[in-house]
Structure 1
Amino acid sequence: MITPHSHFPLGRSRRTFLADLGQGFTGLALGAMLARDGIVRANDAPLWQPPTGQPHFTPKAKSVVWLFMNGGMSHLESFDPKPEVTKYADKSISETPYADTQNPERLKRREVAFNVELRQKLYPLQVGFRKYGQSGIELSDWVPHMGSCIDDIAVVRSMWTTDDNHGAQTQFHSGRHMLDGEFPTLGAWVHYGLGSINDDLPQFISMGNREYWNAKDGHYLGPAHDAVPIRVDPGNPLDYAKPASGLDVDEQQLSFELAGRLNRLKGVEYPNDPALTARIKAYELAFRMQTSIPEVLKFDTETQATQELYGLNEPDTRDFGSQMLATRRLIERGVRFIQVQHGAGGAGAWDAHGNLKAMHTQTFKQVDKPVAGLLKDLKQRGLLDSTIVIFATEFGRTPASQGADGRDHHPYGFSVWMAGGGIKGGIVHGATDEIGFHAVEHRHYVTDIHATILKQMGLDSRELEIPGRKRLDIDHGNPINEIIA
């Protein structure tokens, strides 16, 4: 409630008085801007209130690490091994016990929905698998380091989506098929709903390359809610972030202050321009980031043991390991949401239509140790309890072969995992059928992952809706309560 001030008419605050000053467009615009931001109301009329920066209920987590494998990781050779695929390798589905007539609709979905015809042959697993941890969860031999963390991980083996091409990357991030239009990503919603923890760092950061279909986040929420892209390079971490040559710190400070004043004057004239609002905020943050970001990316203060934990001493793991170590350093400094894209470029490095064994051997080698290093480091520093880590991909790969030695795109059943931030460890939730074709038990559309993360962050997605942008029920998803502690 606004407290009256003795120098202004009864019941009117200083801000309300200033908002009403001026007989021209500028005064009206300032009033509209303040009203839009929830500072004043016009004649006590009902007003949509933007987020307060506070959670809607008590959160169990305060940060998210979103690890995304671009191209479509094979669930069969990672987190959902299916020995029956190897047992009946080179046989068509009709030659296996799974082509029985007791469930013709299920067989029809196998053959028609994804063009898996009876003549296509099952392709054997390209790697062995074994049980890991006290929980004894079976994972492939390509993920021994992540396997060593399995008792802190909840594996969800029953994901599904609807896009059978790589626009599914957009769908996993936003919950909508890319042909539906452009919609905010989960990171944008978290950024929109919660306030800053550290004013010297962006609250939403992206590392790794992003394809054109998945290059933005804010969309109708506005560009202020796009992730800030950074490179793990202390000398050049941000585009256009170096000060102009010849300027000392004091001169640069003066130029920022002048630009800020000019931007705000323009903001009064154009209060509903989201690009201008984003520009003002970004300009202020950019000055502070010039020193804060390079400091985060200098690893010389880290012990040799920590650097080795992330694989910085090995050529295969150095690049992604550096991103994971930067992620931990950003998390401990209060960054809310960090999304890291691995293997972008074209369709994605995980897109194994052919030569799957060689491709996945290399991609898992690049990420397995660094991801496990991140989990172990967060845990030993007491940060895992407040940080959700998700390891995801846009879809899985078919149990049948494509060509001689690959697997095709597969949106009907695949796996992701989550850890930390109030998520149970050492459990498997959901299941695909005997050959890993369809999610058949506790099926989850991709927005169920979104709903789970928002719940742990203390956010109700329906409270974040904005006027004129009614969302579908499936856009909100449902929390996967079975994996929440």
Structure 2
Amino acid sequence: MNTDLSFELRQVQTRRRFLGQLGTGLGGVALQALLAREAAAAGTWSPPDGLPMHAPKAKRVIWLFMRGGVSHMESFDPKPMLNRYAGKSIDETPFKEVLDPEKQKNVRVVVVNDANGQQRNVIYPLQTGYKRYGQCGVEISDWFPHIGSCADEIAFVRSMWTTDNNHGAQVQFASGRHMLEPRVPTLGAWVNYGLGSMTDDLPSFVNMGPRYFDTRDGHYLGPAFDAVNLKVDPKNPLSFAKPEAGTGHSEQAAQFEMIHRLNRLTAEQYPGDRILLARMKSYDLAYRMQTAVPETLDLDTESEETKRMYGLDQKETEPFARQLLVARRLAERGVRFIQLQHGDGAAGAWDSHSGLQKNHSRLAGEVDKPISGLLKDLKQRGMLEETLVVFATEFGRTPGSQGSDGRDHHPFAFSIWMAGGGIKGGTIHGASDELGFHATEHPHYVTDVHATILHLLGLNPHRLEVPGRKRLERDFGKVIREIIV
């Protein structure tokens, strides 16, 4: 065989194998960051220029999502009236109007049978105590004392509502649309679309923790805007992130250099081919990520004091503490949207249809200290004022009991909070009624949270448009200005 031809064939085969590895491995992740630019170059659509549309107050988001439905009454909106009327049916209290069909609409009101076999809407008492925290005097349950110690950094929104009373509400909180409606991009995808990346070595949008419903984010924006799933394991942070067995660092470097030379030759033949240039950059990013991702997840360089502040020294807090410390390191290195999901299982571990006291106290114990550690660490490093931290869940839980010791799903009132970049700390905004049944003061649909986050990042959701895609007015949300500095 002709020697030159043999060499060319080997080059092509190596290039094909290399591209195949890129498509399924770390290079595929790198390509996500550049596919959007390719689409723009091909003329399919034009994404924003990556610049804020107005002066931003935050650069990045750390999104903490508690899967399953945290009880607002046993977290950040305690209701002492539940203790006063415990065991009574709701219609035996002064608050029976909460059962007005026009108010509850599709909500599933939980009932139990009394001694005579009659169904009653029985009020379930608070399963923990509460006290006031900070100069703002916000009431927080005894299960979250560490977050309570940060109360004056936080804006609490006690008047959230949504329309899905099952766990598809996790999709709804992230996207603003009911799970039965056509899928649309999530908030993280819109942030990625609107602002792009701040780093050349890491993905712009990262997810840590379980996702059981809709694992995509970009939808009609395309896979370029999906989150990259990261495992908090320095030895194996991403699937296919390591070179093939037997491939050493020098050999892999030679492979990258060979492909780069071949691409440069092609680029000289087609100097206007922006798609080729984007792919060349993606290979460089893939190579850099093989070093950057494990280094980010390696916590050995962190001080013992910092590790203790997050709770890495305690068995119950260590898993989530590790994720949050990695989140801070990702934020330092320019990752734009860092999404953490807590609560395993299809529905999410916070789903407490029975045994709420045991369930919520355990789960709160897993996240309370790590979250306060994150807030304190960001503040002492001067990062909190540019980092927006969000604590959310898909819905609340019923004031009435389910069975003997649980609460059912409740979409008509629940709580979230935000801290950091542009947020007015020590703020208590909105309210639910005295039983925690309905959002009554300044009610906010979930996309109001999205609008607020986008606004703080310098984006206007009405200007984040894709040709041929019509968005509902509710999709845009309204900025919660009362919690902004």
The aligned counterpart of 1:243 is 243
The aligned counterpart of 2:60 is 63
The aligned counterpart of 2:141 is 140
TM-superposition CA deviations, 1:56-79 (whole Å, max 9, x none):
111110000000000000001000
Contact 2:412–2:439, Cα closer than 8 Å, also in 1 = yes
Q: Which amino acid aligns with 1:182?
A: R
Matches within 5 A, 1:143-162: 143-162=144-163
Distance in 2, Cα, partners of 1:183 & 1:475 = 10
Matches within 5 A, 1:284-323: 284-323=284-323
Distance in 1, Cα, partners of 2:322 & 2:98 = 50
Q: Is there any run of 5+ residues in structure 1 with no aligned partner, and where?
A: 1-32, 42-46
Please tell me whether residue 171 in structure 1 is matched to residue 172 in structure 2. yes
SS for the counterpart of 2:392 is strand
Q: Which amino acid aligns with 2:467?
A: P
Distance in 2, Cα, partners of 1:204 & 1:111 = 37
Distance in 1, Cα, partners of 2:222 & 2:201 = 21
SS for the counterpart of 1:37 is helix
The aligned counterpart of 1:122 is 123
The aligned counterpart of 2:440 is 440
Q: Which amino acid aligns with 1:134?
A: Q
Please tell me whether residue 82 in structure 1 is matched to residue 94 in structure 2. no
Change (3 A) 1:85 1:277: farther
SS for the counterpart of 2:76 is coil
Q: Which amino acid aligns with 2:402?
A: Q
Change (3 A) 1:259 1:81: farther
SS for the counterpart of 1:57 is coil
Change (3 A) 1:83 1:63: same
Please tell me whether residue 37 in structure 1 is matched to residue 31 in structure 2. no
Distance in 2, Cα, partners of 1:218 & 1:49 = 15
Q: Which amino acid aligns with 2:182?
A: G
SS for the counterpart of 1:245 is coil
Contact 1:150–1:426, Cα closer than 8 Å, also in 2 = yes
Q: Is there any run of 5+ residues in structure 2 with no aligned partner, and where?
A: 1-35, 112-118
1:327: Cα distance to partner? 0.6
SS for the counterpart of 2:73 is coil
The aligned counterpart of 1:16 is none
Distance in 2, Cα, partners of 1:354 & 1:281 = 52
Distance in 2, Cα, partners of 1:334 & 1:305 = 24
The aligned counterpart of 1:12 is none
Matches within 5 A, 1:307-386: 307-386=307-386
Change (3 A) 1:104 1:123: closer
Normalization by structure 2: what TM-score?
0.85
The aligned counterpart of 1:9 is none
Q: Which amino acid aligns with 1:349?
A: A
SS for the counterpart of 2:62 is strand
Please tell me whether residue 460 in structure 1 is matched to residue 460 in structure 2. yes
Contact 2:98–2:437, Cα closer than 8 Å, also in 1 = no
Distance in 2, Cα, partners of 1:296 & 1:115 = 47
TM-superposition CA deviations, 1:79-133 (whole Å, max 9, x none):
000000111000001111112xxx5884653487433567120000000000011
TM-superposition CA deviations, 1:344-366 (whole Å, max 9, x none):
22211000000000000110000
Change (3 A) 1:345 1:282: farther
Please tell me whether residue 200 in structure 1 is matched to residue 201 in structure 2. yes
Q: For structure 1, which segment, 51-60 or 106-115, has the greater mean C-alpha deviation from structure 2 after superposition?
A: 106-115
Q: For structure 1, which segment, 362-371 or 245-254, has the greater mean C-alpha deviation from structure 2 after superposition?
A: 245-254
Change (3 A) 1:132 1:215: same
SS for the counterpart of 1:76 is helix
SS for the counterpart of 2:233 is coil
Change (3 A) 1:278 1:67: farther
Distance in 2, Cα, partners of 1:401 & 1:293 = 46
The aligned counterpart of 1:29 is none
SS for the counterpart of 2:339 is strand
The aligned counterpart of 1:4 is none
1:341: Cα distance to partner? 0.3
The aligned counterpart of 2:184 is 183
Distance in 2, Cα, partners of 1:223 & 1:112 = 34
Q: For structure 1, which segment, 144-153 or 50-59, has the greater mean C-alpha deviation from structure 2 after superposition?
A: 50-59
Distance in 1, Cα, partners of 2:39 & 2:330 = 32
TM-superposition CA deviations, 1:120-170 (whole Å, max 9, x none):
200000000000111111000000000000000000000000111000000
TM-superposition CA deviations, 1:438-465 (whole Å, max 9, x none):
0011000000000000000001112211
Q: Which amino acid aligns with 1:79?
A: F
Distance in 1, Cα, partners of 2:377 & 2:215 = 29
Q: Which amino acid aligns with 1:173?
A: A
1:178: Cα distance to partner? 1.0
Q: Which amino acid aligns with 2:103?
A: R
Matches within 5 A, 1:257-276: none
Normalization by structure 1: what TM-score?
0.85
The aligned counterpart of 2:410 is 410
Contact 1:70–1:348, Cα closer than 8 Å, also in 2 = yes
Distance in 1, Cα, partners of 2:264 & 2:346 = 38
How many correspondences in the alignment? 438
Contact 1:224–1:281, Cα closer than 8 Å, also in 2 = no
Distance in 2, Cα, partners of 1:152 & 1:252 = 47
RMSD: 2.7
Distance in 2, Cα, partners of 1:359 & 1:241 = 36
Please tell me whether residue 53 in structure 1 is matched to residue 50 in structure 2. yes
1:281: Cα distance to partner? 7.0
The aligned counterpart of 1:8 is none
Contact 1:123–1:400, Cα closer than 8 Å, also in 2 = yes
Q: Which amino acid aligns with 2:397?
A: R
Distance in 2, Cα, partners of 1:129 & 1:355 = 19
